[in-house]
Structure 1
Amino acid sequence: MVKIMGLTNDEQFQQAATLYEEIWKDNDHSIEERIQKHSSYSGFRGLAILSNEGSMIGFSYGYTSLPTQFYHNLLAEELNALEYQRWLKDCFEFVELAIHPSYRNRGFARLLATKLVEAVENKTAILTTQVDNHPARTLYKSLGWKDIKEPFFPGNSKQAYVIMGKEL
């Protein structure tokens, strides 16, 4: 039986960063700094799933999306005024969902994605994922997320993303 817990302290942020780096083969170590920074944002909410042995096998987190934030402004540039009012005005930004590959296809991503937004008081939630990440897009669509804009190239990224939204 796995255990779901809050992602709330530096030790857990470090475990999440280690898992992220293992999954994405990313060794720039900036993910831990990003999680720590994001944990100070209004409305931060993070969850982790632990294996029976107590190791972190997945995590998700997000926060209230505000105009003072870098990614909020990237998203705002892509949306027209009506889309901005609908999707970003009172929005929870679903930032990250990661599951260790050996634990995928067992419902853990669905569980984390559902639980993360369950108690959020914002009117909407928004996320981005790679256009070609079909498993993620399929999961999110099955949970009621809608495509808002595709393609989206955040910052200087050459990778195409899709902006997805959900009414809460």
Structure 2
Amino acid sequence: MLHYNKNSLQAIIMTGLFTALIYLGIFIFRIPIPALVGRPFIHFGNTLAILAVLFLGLRNGALAGVIGLGGFDILNGYALTSWLTMLEITVVAVVVSLLLKAFDYNDSKQNIIIIAIIAGTLKIGTSYCTSIIEALMVGTTFKTAIVASFFSLPATVINSISTAICVPLLYFLLKQIFSSIRRRHN
């Protein structure tokens, strides 16, 4: 985690930066995947949201994720279900934060890999539940919603695998960059 007051100007700027990166990580790179429920696509928004939590902490990281992912949904044709996206990223942010705390904020490679794998796996579960709710919102029966949501998971699984791989890689790269910037300014 970056060490500064969560209400400081630096924290606000970093939260805004991560918010923009999350939004752009979806807007610039998204590959639609056919599905029975919803309109899923492959993107890097979840990866960047998890990085935001790791670097900024629960409050500011979750805020960046909620605004970045939720904002994308609202502005790009997913407004009716944006609240589900915001709820999903909040759940993932809380779990990532709790895991980091359980590891006593030790960001060893092993711990970050474990966090990334758990976050990716959790995202599969939250997306499955979200898909069921989306299917129910359009009038599908519960049994049909469960089955259709299961067959709509390929994009989520791909996103989750990329999260498990990309979070550790990007975390340590960004950590080096942030450390280098701090050394120059001290």
**Greater CA radius of gyration, 1 or 2?**
2
User: TM-score higher than 0.5 here?
Assistant: no
Scaled by the length of structure 2, what TM-score is found? 0.31
Whose helix fraction is larger, Structure 1's or Structure 2's?
2
Whose strand fraction is larger, Structure 1's or Structure 2's?
1
Scaled by the length of structure 1, what TM-score is found? 0.33
